[in-house]
Amino acid sequence: MKFGGTSVANLDRIRNAAERVRLEVAKGYDVIVIVSAMSGKTNELVGWVNETSAFYDAREYDAVVSSGENVTAGLMALTLQEMDIPARSWQGWQVPVQTTSAHANARIEAIPSANLDEKFAQGMRVAVVAGFQGVSPEGRITTLGRGGSDTTAVAFAAAFDAERCDIYTDVDGVYTTDPRISSKARKLDKIAFEEMLELASLGAKVLQTRSVELAMRFNVRLRVLSSFEDPSDTAGTLVCAEEEIMESNVVAGVAYSRDEAKMTLISVADRPGIAAAIFGPLSEAGVNVDMIVQNISEDGRTDMTFSCPTDQVLRAEKAMQTAKDEGTINYHDLVADEAVAKVSVVGIGMRSHAGVAAQMFRALHREGINIKVITTSEIKISVLIERKYMELAVQTLHDAFELEKAA
């Protein structure tokens, strides 16, 4: 059971979360509870680090920002003990959660189960583990990047072969789209790992992408549910293998990303290796390129368009200018359009249904929404459009595919 920051924001909410743990213990389960820092605490700690040192030591950064989870873990264990439930808290290094040495963005390598197994055998019913943190081969505290507690929870579920992994958050499940944009958004009872992975990577902030990847690899059944709703066995959304879903809509959901930029290199030489010459420097500069479109070549020159997050535009421009100065690539101009948004439809049903793209493009055309860039995969279609039309596009596509209706 993983509880996010809003679910443990104060002592009352910690008691509420502990009551949910008590219900699972009453059913006979041994429970591993993963906790985040109290809501807002990690941001506060990061702010203190930045204020102290502009060029901080990443190892000390991890030591500071991981401390929020330690506080929550101790308070949760104390609260459970007050309920007469044998519980204790564990920090990442005590388990140990073994990670790489990439401070502030470490990856979990292994979670040996011996320490917790021994305590469970001695009568412990609940292990409260500080999420988001681990220990490097050098023995230093590491953190897993923002949202890392989701990844911690899935990794523990896989390591201990748990029956399922419940992710408690401030929303009551996964919706067909953002309910703040479309009042017709419907909560899904089940969604396939692949669909959830696409939605998470496309901007749906319900689950961290890495946690879904991990769940898919180890077939960990995930349940996303709210810690503020009444407990029930049917609450929330189950993220599971495709085989567990009997019948689903062709399109499962509509995702969007507001902070996108479209960048076009004008008049690039059309020759073997040019794509590597462009995207190599962008990768080295840490630019997260998403959609890529190359125009038809004329007179040996072509235009190359790609999208990236708006906060990486300056980095991309600098990388391209450096490559041009070094003579790696030659282009006439680099045009950045920061007033775009990405809207995507996702669904495993697309594999076996033709015409989804045509239906999507017709719906956008009826609303007069111009498409700037299109990319497709087996289970998703993404378009870049003017940002001012983003909400209209989401509502239009939700209606066009009748996502308010269950399959």
Annotated binding site: 2-5, 42, 69, 169-170, 175, 180, 205-206
Distances 293 to 45, 146, 305 between C-alpha atoms, Å: 41, 31, 5
DSSP 38: P
Which residues belong to the annotated binding site for substrate?
Answer: 42, 69
- CB burial of 296-316 (b: ≥16 within 10 Å; e: otherwise) equals eeeeeebbbbbbbbbebbebb
Other Cβ atoms closer than 10 A to 285: 17
The H or E element containing residue 135 is strand 133-135
Strand 253-269 relative to strand 301-309, pairing: antiparallel
Cα dihedral sign, 200-202-203-208: positive
CA distance 239 to 165: 10
Tokens for 35? 């906790």
Residues in the chain: 407
Amino acid residing at 140? R
Cβ pair 339, 390 in contact under 8 A? no
Which residues are paired to 129 by β-bridges? Answer: 34, 90
Cβ contacts of residue 126 below 8 Å, gap of 6+? 21, 25, 30, 31, 32, 33, 77, 80, 85, 86, 87, 88
Closest to 93 in 3D by CA, of 122, 123, 73: 73
Cβ pair 52, 20 in contact under 8 A? no
CA distance 285 to 272: 22
Which residues belong to the annotated binding site for ATP?
Answer: 2-5, 169-170, 175, 180, 205-206
Cα dihedral sign, 237-242-247-248: positive
